[in-house]
Amino acid sequence: MDIKKYLEAGKIGKEAREYGKELIKEGVSYYDVAEKVEKYIRDSGALPAFPVNLSVNNIAAHYSPIKGDNLYFRKGDVVKLDLGAHIDGYISDTAVTVEVGTNKWGDLIEASAEALNNVIKAIRPGITTSEIGKIVETTLSFYGYNPIRNLTGHGLGRYDLHHGLSIPNYDDGSSTKILPGMAFAIEPFATNGRGYVREGKGGNIYIFRKRENLKGIYKEMFQEFKALPFAARWCTHYENYQSLLRKGSLLGILYHFPILQERKRFMVAQTEHTILLTQDEVIVTTR
């Protein structure tokens, strides 16, 4: 574990999150926010670990804008800003929820943030993932909300955004332990809905499913993006990039992440930090 690089990625991720949070206002385009936040990460000496996610209202995850999609934030929107930075493959992953111009969903946002804070206080060597999930579930229940059961926190590896470990948002009975030397992201998703998301259409985020014996343009793309997720709008320098992405998905070379959404009348809030566990301390890199 390269703690120095994790800490630098965390610092940049935190600063980018706070910068992006201030950009989200009524009438501002999704595209402008995503582009500005990713530029901030690059200008700070890191690279985006994945495309900026801007998931609004009942959408929980996996939407990143494309140029010309003409989506703008509206008053009352509940926006999940989820972003990451990496230094030489060492990743930070962090998220915050912003309500645009109103305060109807303040308790929902607070519930997610408080659940994360309570988990951080309880982290110790040997804690099980189910104990973490129970803390999230209990906190959200206190506020009158549900966790999203089919979304989880996750381990972090070098150039690997979802590395091995899955950390539930409810008590699933798992005996898997968090141990020193692990890097991971905790991300409570709170909802006033049923607590499950379903897959929708593609959210303009891709990752290489096939990573060996690649040829031609796909080999070139993999050298650029490696095993991390990337945005369709990052591919405009490739000729006929939209066809390239469609073909790669059809052939099983690429995976096109679907948006993940609750039912339309329900809202979702998310808060996330990256954590390193050593023998002696719990380091929250993005706080």
Which positions are catalytic? 82, 93, 154, 162, 187, 272
Kind and range of the H or E run holding 60: strand 59-61
Rounded-to-integer distance, Cα 162 and Cα 164, Å = 6
Contact (CB, 8 A) for 262 and 197? yes
Write out the DSSP string of 140-176: HHHHT-EE-TT--EEE-BTTBSS-S-EE-SS------
Distance of CA 101 to the CA centre of its chain: 23
Cβ partners under 8 Å of residue 216, min gap 6: none
Burial class (CB in 10 A: 0-12, 13-18, 19+), 175: exposed
